[in-house]
Structure 1
Amino acid sequence: MTTRTRPRPVLSRWDMPHWMPDSSQTLPARCGEDFTAIRVPADLARPALTALGPRTGPVLANKTTRTWHFLLPSNSVLPDDWPHGVRVMPKGRSIGIPPLTTTGGLDVHWAVPPGRGITSPADLHRALHDPRLLTAGDAPSPADPPAAAAAVRAAAPPTPRPLTPAQRDVGRLLLTGASDAQIAEELGLPVGIVRRHLTSIGRRFGAPTAARRAAALLAGGHVSPPPVSMLAPDLSETDLIVLRVLAGLATEDDLPEDLRTGLFLDRVDELRERCGARTDPHLIALAAFWELLPSLVHPAPGKEQLP
């Protein structure tokens, strides 16, 4: 019987980076010195990775923290306006680098191992704003000026559109903790249409999670938090940091060390129970109503202003 072994990736362009561990353990490497790391929420990273396809360099994934890191050369010239939730890791910050063979599991592993190429900052920037822009924005033939102009327009970030009344209705019910099916029943819409509206809201605000969509809707005054008779529970400063991270108002680096793992999700579950929240968006809405997240409180509740 022949034993099959997993083929080692063929290295090219980067060869074997000097920061790759020689042992079987995950070891730290410094951002900004060894590489430039772009941290991306998992829900946003997956479609971006699909859009990049073979044009992707090393990418780390972590199912526990639900974050990915795209590793670019340390001398990369980066755009400024990354989508909400995306962060360029500061110089000197250490992140874990697993062995080349670690390509799965709950903790840090390679979604794309080194040696397959280099990620262009411009390509990654476009793919994170809207994966459809990457193909549309590819450089056309110089002999085809009309196509070149079209590609430049396609590569530019789209002009944001105001929310439609239907999107605002869906957003209002999202904040109450209603499920997709319950929203559909309440509005008399197919569930697929409701999910399409939620996806559009997420793209509109660069909000990859339901909680961040809720925060964006509140911060922009598009909807008001649903009123509640329950008084705010007594929350600790750590609880408030967890709420801010959940809403996308802070990063996981602001969390205490012990919560930068799966314990963060446990703390969110505990907060939902203590606050009587049905879902993460409902938890964000309650926190806004209780003014625990002041930046989400619109100055004129009930008078939503469209951008």
Structure 2
Amino acid sequence: MYFKRLGALGAEIPVAVVDGLTLDLRPLTADITGDFLGSDPVGTVRRALIDLSELPGADNLRVGAPVARPNSVYCIGMNYAAHAREGGSEPPQRIVVFMKPSHTVAGPNDDFPASPGADKIDWEVELALIVGRRAWQIGDDEDPLAAIAGYTVANDLSERAWQLEESGGQWSKGKSGPGFLPLGPMLVAASELDASDLRLRSFVNGEPRQDSRTSDLIFDLPTLVRDLSQYTVLEPGDVILTGTPEGVALSGRFPYLKVGDVMEIEIEGLGRQRQMVVAESGSHE
């Protein structure tokens, strides 16, 4: 079983895919929210299967981000040793944390709007954790992954000049533009997938860029969730990005993205994204 949100931007329909059937979840929840994810979503759906019907035309609908607008998006930086070094840093001794605003979240196949002045746009494939239970200062005798509802694919898009040259010493400027966080296509429940050793890959215009495994993380999933909870309260629906492997444009081995380029991002067991870079048009509120 996995969860998706299908339909036009702002009008997505929550669904569960069970045994190949795309089931409309609106009898159970208005959306895939923190409240739904914190209330045993897999069990809830299984108990209600007899009352759920297929969503007509599901295959023809836009795929939205698999979780409704999160309260917080936490990002773990430099969590693959080779990526830290390709950016000119030594691997960290403690988790490095920065934030992305929730308005960065986009659908997995939405066009990516290149903002004016964004000349160093970079891709980053990442495993994303979706929080399903409130957690604060998780103890050594507790399982940190019990706080995680599920997993999805993320592209932590970055504008490197904004992030590093104009940053003033922090990274969020280069991480916060519109569309800078495609999520999806699906949210796989934590009970359905072991995410400790999944292959992550990225491509630009069909050419391979990143290729690694989540087993190469410096801080593994339980460690980073436990550590993050020491400093902030994790709430249902929050998103945690776990870091990106080497193979980005920041390395100097590849050109930065330009209008017309196509990114493809995939993680084993979690699906594939595709974004075309387009010129931004209009204003964003």
TM-score using structure 2 length: 0.26
Q: Which structure shows the higher helix fraction?
A: 1
More strand per residue = 2
What TM-score do the two structures reach when normalised by structure 1? 0.24
Report the structure number with the largest CA radius of gyration: 1
Q: With CA pairs under 8 Å and 6+ residues apart, which has the higher RCO, 1 or 2? A: 2
